[in-house]
Amino acid sequence: MEQERPLPSVVERMWGREPVPRRGPRPRLDLATITTAAIEIADAEGLGGVSMASVASRVGVAATALYRYIGSKDDLLTIMADGVAPPPPEPEGRSWRDYLALWTRIQRDLLLEHAWLLSVGRLSPPLGPRRLLWFDRALAALDGTGLDHGEKINVASTLTGYALTDAALVHGIGGGAPQPEEHAIGGAAEYGEVLAGLLDPAAYPALSAAMRSGVMRGAEGWVEDEDFVFGLNLLLDGIEALIGRRASEERSCCGEGVPE
């Protein structure tokens, strides 16, 4: 029998798979308490305020004691990224499109609420139970659409990437966490004015014309909702078209609609 691939210790802890010692004193801490403390610090101070020492102080132990539960700051960030996620909505009673629209919006709103998440493992695949539950529910919502497993995973990954990109753009344009004074841009309108003055129409004819038209002056909702919905609908339209193609291929393969 092939031996199972060993998991990182932090992943073992997240899934509750570490053996419980039968002897010795009962642990003073648990992973949930440590995770909650770290998230509270990050929400208040940003990731710069999160350290093994600061978390240990918040839960009332020495930093050396924290290392009995968390091996490193990287491990701490891993459990924070998983622990901050709420339970996903359930797909039942919703069409795949309505569900994935809600699924993507909640992820985007979570990133807006906890800006530090944008700096924690953006390109790391999920390994924790909460984030993987989100992934599972997206795949479940696509049952019966005719998409294969790989296509379903790509749909979920694409929508997650869109939520990340949109939230990062909102924060970067001034709708999220405060920026250093010298780099601050006060919203979409000011961003458009900066570009209008910066771009050479000869080198950037299309973008320059768009910025000089004043399009961004009417786009303050851009950092709130309107453009998020526009982009999300583009993606969902593409998914719907893919589902339609797969259904058409299935009908052709089975000979449906072909005259005898």
Q: Residue 141: is it exposed, middle or buried by C-beta count within 10 angstroms (0-12/13-18/19+)?
A: buried
pLDDT of residue 238: 97
Total H helices, total E strands in the chain: 11, 0
Residue 221 has pLDDT above 50, yes or no: no
pLDDT of residue 255: 62
pLDDT of residue 259: 47
Ordered by where they begin, the domains of the chain are: 9-83 (1.10.10.60), 96-184+225-254 (1.10.357)
Query: Which tokens hold the place of 60?
Result: 């009332």
pLDDT of residue 29: 84
pLDDT mean across residues, the chain: 84
E strand spans, 103-215:
none
Q: Tell me, what amino acid is at 79?
A: I
Q: Are 214 and 191 in contact (CB under 8 A)?
A: no
Nearest to 29, CA basis, from 51, 17, 13 = 13
The pLDDT tens digits for 126-165 are 889 999 999 999 999 999 999 999 999 999 999 999 999 9
The pLDDT tens digits for 79-135 are 999 999 999 999 989 999 999 999 999 999 999 999 999 988 665 678 899 999 999
Phi/psi of residue 7, each to 5°? -100, 150
Nearest to 137, CA basis, from 177, 94, 103, 86 = 103
Region 41-61: mean pLDDT is 95
pLDDT category at 182 given cuts 50, 70, 90 is very low
- Rounded-to-integer distance, Cα 93 and Cα 84, Å: 26
The pLDDT tens digits for 161-179 are 999 999 998 887 765 544 4
Residue 243 has pLDDT above 90, yes or no: yes
Nearest to 142, CA basis, from 100, 107, 113 = 100
